[in-house]
Amino acid sequence: MRTRPNYAAGAAAFVWLLIIGIPLYALVNTAVQPQTTYTDKGPVSLPSAVTADNFRTVLDSGFPQYIWNTLVVAASTVAIVLALAIPVSYAVVRGRGWITKGVFRLFLLGLAIPSQAVIIPLFLIVNNLGFYDTLWGIVLPTAAFALPVSVLVLSGGMRDISSELYEAMALDGASPARTLVKLVVPMSRSAIATTSVFTALQAWNGFLFPLIMTQSEDTKLVTLGLYNFVSEYGANVPALLAAVLMSALPILVVYLFARRALVAGLMGAGGK
Amino acid sequence: MVSATTSRPVSKTRARDRAAPPTLERPGVAWAIPGLLFFLVFAVAPMVGVLYLSFTHWDGLSTPRFTGTENWSRFFSDSQVGQSTLVTGILLVGNIAVQAPISILLGVWSAGHQRNRAVLSAVFFLPLLLSTAATAVMWRQLLDPNFGIPSTFGRLFGGTTDPLGTQQGAIACLVLVTSWQFIPFHSLLYQGAARAIPHTLYQAAAIDGAGRVRQFFHITLPQLRNTIITSTTFMVVGGLTAFDIVLLLTNGGPGTDTSILPFSMYQTAFRTYDYGYASAIAAFLLLLATCASVLLTKLSGYDKMTSTLEGL
């Protein structure tokens, strides 16, 4: 629509490209260098000797297991959040009375509960439920703290379903359960996608819960594996940065094959 | 809250038995109960627990011993708490001041449908693929005084080779690294919102002779109001919980210079096993977050429960 290109904005975007690009270049470049080259030339150099040794070091140190654990945690968290947040949002949007309003307000308030602030009692609860050092110990609290945003996003999406469609369901004599399955869920697909993407990334990013709730090798997540990797291989910077790259591999795959869905999903978190 | 769990599902089957007009059965409160219970157990109960524990002495093994307001009087005379609060506040303000303007501009820019903007946006997204832990580990190495970027391009960092070595430097690094990681997310929110602005508004403004800058300030910014609030909420909550980045990038240092509230709470609880006092710090954090949340939901009007489409 616009007639002349915005050169100032283009220049600024180029500067931003450098800010994003140089560190990422340094990351990839260092990860494929032998350590001797790194200590000689630093992270921002032209690659002279390329090696896959660093990735081998990372693979041998248990990373595949950590990545698998993280995938399990992310998938379980998303499943629990959807199973709980969809009915809650449905009740909030379609229900009547002060109780459903109160439920919504409670979740809104929960939007700003920092998980850090309640980690001590949470640790106690997880311990008493017998979930310490299990993946459940990470999944359950992560899901609980993903609920407020999910309820907000889902109820936002459900509110946009027109009342004519509900009336049509009424003509069919549909029960609330049938209305949910046949109308509400299909019509709020994009909100469900947003919730899933956002929750999965939360689980993926989680650091505090794995740090506090687990201790053994079998239950270690990628983020924690990276943290331990620092103390173990601190001096071997190329291996460390190879580990950083490996930790991003699964999302990178998602990004390459489903970029639109991922981007659209995250965008939805902002509402309108 | 308890009343919600005891009330039974409301059934209105009678409505269907009568002939006309058909009214749709509304879902009862029962639908919300599983999610509500789950949230109560894993999020609300711990909040109450934190308040209780802040009045006790507890080493994590024995039973918590009630000590009245001992933790709290210690809290208010602890100079480290004052410093941590100050640094938390500085980081919060710094993060918003750096991230909000850049995110808005980038988001609005990338909302355009030009081909080069689409390609660059795909690159700008990349930092989001790294977890916070990965980002912090990466930057820790890139900022290394001996081998990192500052040793090669010292002038970019004001001549110092160790930007993490001073308090100001460490705080600046925390802000910049956080911004590097999260600006892509926030600009994505703005990109989505900017695309939803009706085009007719710009056409009308163009007919009135408003230039690009005027259009930005008089159409784009006001239309982005809700997104600004949402994005700021994310920044505030993220700022109050920015624990992993501090642990991995500065480890609270130099000394305790960047030991923000969540970090000093973690140290007190899980390093020195003083869970009672740590709970007092946690309760304070909770109070700050609740105030911020109430303020922001009031501003955004989320609590009015209206359709987001109604404004259009």
* ipTM higher than the 0.85 cut: yes
Between positions 113 and 152 of A, the ones with CB within 8 A of B are 113-122, 124-125, 140-141, 143-145, 147-148, 151-152
**Ranges of chain B whose pLDDT falls below 50:** 1-18, 305-312
Task: Kindly report the backbone phi and psi dihedral angles of residue A33, in degrees, each rounded to the nearest multiple of 5, phi listed first.
Answer: -95, 150
Comparing alpha-carbon positions, the chain A residue that sits nearest to B26 is A95
Check residue B127 and give its pLDDT.
92
Q: Closest to B7 (Cβ–Cβ): which among A20, A99, A105? A: A99
Tens digits of residue pLDDT in A73-114: 999 999 999 999 999 999 998 888 788 888 888 888 787 788
Chain Cα centroid distance, residue B154: 32
Q: Which residues have a Cβ under 8 Å from the Cβ of B263 and sit 6 or more positions away?
A: B84, B243, B246, B247, B252
Task: Check if the beta carbon of residue B64 is closer than 8 Å to that of residue B276.
Answer: yes
**Measuring CA to CA, which residue among B181, B217, B232 is closest to residue B105?**
B217
Going by CATH, does the domain composed of B72-300 fall within 1.25.40.340?
no
Cα-Cα-Cα-Cα dihedral of B102, B108, B110, B112, to 10°?
-160
Looking at residue B4, its pLDDT comes to 42
- pTM for the whole structure: 0.85
Which run of H or of E encompasses B57? strand B56-57
Check residue A83 and give its pLDDT.
96
Domain parsing of chain B, residue ranges? 72-300
CA distance linking residue B165 with residue B151, whole number of Å: 14
A234–chain B nearest CA distance, Å? 9
Compare all CA atoms of chain B with the CA of A42 and give the residue at the minimum distance: B147
Which residues in chain B touch residue A85, judged by CB atoms under 8 angstroms apart?
35
Which run of H or of E encompasses B173? helix B167-195
- Tokens (6 digits) for A185: 């869920």
A-interface mutation test, from B305, B306, B309, most A Cβ less than 10 A away:
B305
pLDDT at B238: 81
pLDDT at A139 over 90: yes
Which one of A30, A36, A69, A119 would you mutate to disrupt binding with B, by most B Cβ within 10 Å of its Cβ? A119
pLDDT at B150: 73
Q: Which amino acid is at B300?
A: S
pLDDT tier at A237, thresholds 50, 70, 90: confident
Q: Tell me which H or E stretch contains A165.
A: helix A163-171
* Residue A200 pLDDT > 50: yes
Nearest residue of chain A to residue B34 (CA atoms) = A84
